[in-house]
């Protein structure tokens, strides 16, 4: 029984059709990637599933709950990290986590959650003093306050340095190990390859292909595709990480 079911989902803004009939299913415990260029409809799809916007037509279910009708119940079992991260500027991280756990009527120890995302040393700092990577990690921490079944991450690593990105990858992998379902949008292909069990490639509001990253690569190479670039043993990013180290810089 898939935990997320999306059937013929459409969203129209006046004249513009952001998504034009999307179907996919996500199994429990899967990390599912939505890939696509800017404006392809990734964020729209995710925001419909999060209950932030209403679809024009089609159906979407999370854990058998209709997203458009049982929006509140759906919101209780999902954790959300939005593309543009912002919280109350003049609250400390501890207070933000505490406030959000109250909103879910869920009692958690904010210290434990902050420790999980590596922000325990910042518990008394205000949100506005954080660096980009730290803001993303706080955003993920807030997504965890209700111990959600499904996590939505919308471009979590955009604009982060390689160290911070790798750090987030480890975090997302740890959620999968716990058995949580993760829906991730990104336009970094190496990120999708590293994290996702399956990916859906979206363009112009439609899903072109759904499969596991390795199957998609095999499919392409078996059709006779030859990369114009020489495949090397390492990438420039490997060089960068090797030279600058894996540890996070902002703490």
Partner 1 sequence: MKIYLSFTIAASKMFFRRKSSIFWSLFFPVVTMLVFGNANILGYSAPNVGLIDYANTDNSRLITDKLKKSKSTEIQLIYSENEAIELLTKGSIASYLTINSSNNNAESEIIITTRKGDFAEKEVVSNLINSVMIGDANSLEELSNIKSNIADINYQGYKGFIIPGIAAMAIMQNGIFSVVFTLLSYKNQGVLRRLQATPISPSHFIVGHLISRVTIIILQTFLLLIMGVFILGVSIGQ
Interface residue list for partner 1 (CB under 8 A): 50-52, 72-73, 75-76, 80, 82, 84-91, 95, 98-100, 102-105, 126, 142
**Nearest distance in Å: CB 141, partner 1:** 13
Nearer of residues 130 and 199 to partner 1, judged by Cβ? 130
* CB-based contact 200:35 (threshold 8 Å): yes
Nearer of residues 98 and 115 to partner 1, judged by Cβ? 98
**Nearest distance in Å: CB 105, partner 1:** 8
Nearer of residues 72 and 230 to partner 1, judged by Cβ? 72
**Nearest distance in Å: CB 77, partner 1:** 9
Chain mean position to CA 119: 19
Instruction: Give the separation between CA 195 and CA 155, rounded to whole angstroms.
Output: 13
Residue owning tokens 């982060």: 160
Rg (CA), the chain: 19
**Nearest distance in Å: CB 68, partner 1:** 15
Burial of 50 (0-12, 13-18, 19+ CB in 10 A): buried
Nearer of residues 113 and 216 to partner 1, judged by Cβ? 113
Beta bridge partners of 31: 182
């Amino acid at each position: 029984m898939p935990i997320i079911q999306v059937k013929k989902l459409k969203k129209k803004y006046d004249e513009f059709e952001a998504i034009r009939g999307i179907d996919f299913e996500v199994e429990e415990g899967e990390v599912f990637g939505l890939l696509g260029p800017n404006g392809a409809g990734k964020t729209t799809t995710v925001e419909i599933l999060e209950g932030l916007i209403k679809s024009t037509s089609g159906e979407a279910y999370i854990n058998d709950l209709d997203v458009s009708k049982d929006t509140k119940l759906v919101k209780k079992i999902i954790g959300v990290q939005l593309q543009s991260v912002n919280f109350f500027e003049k609250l400390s991280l501890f207070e933000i986590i505490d406030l959000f756990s109250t909103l879910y009527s869920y009692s958690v120890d904010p210290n434990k959650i902050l420790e999980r995302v590596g922000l325990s040393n910042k518990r008394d700092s205000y949100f506005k003093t954080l660096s980009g990577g730290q803001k993303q990690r706080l955003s993920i921490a807030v997504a965890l306050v209700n111990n959600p079944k499904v996590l939505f991450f919308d471009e979590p690593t955009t604009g982060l340095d390689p160290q911070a990105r790798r750090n987030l990858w480890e975090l997302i992998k740890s959620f999968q190990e716990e058995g949580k379902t993760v829906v991730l949008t990104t336009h970094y292909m190496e990120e999708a390859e590293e994290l996702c069990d399956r990916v859906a490639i979206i363009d112009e509001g439609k899903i072109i292909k759904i499969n596991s990253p390795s199957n998609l690569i095999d499919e392409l190479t078996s059709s006779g595709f030859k990369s114009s670039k020489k495949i090397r043993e390492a990438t420039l990013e490997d060089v960068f990480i090797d030279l600058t180290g894996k540890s996070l810089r902002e703490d």
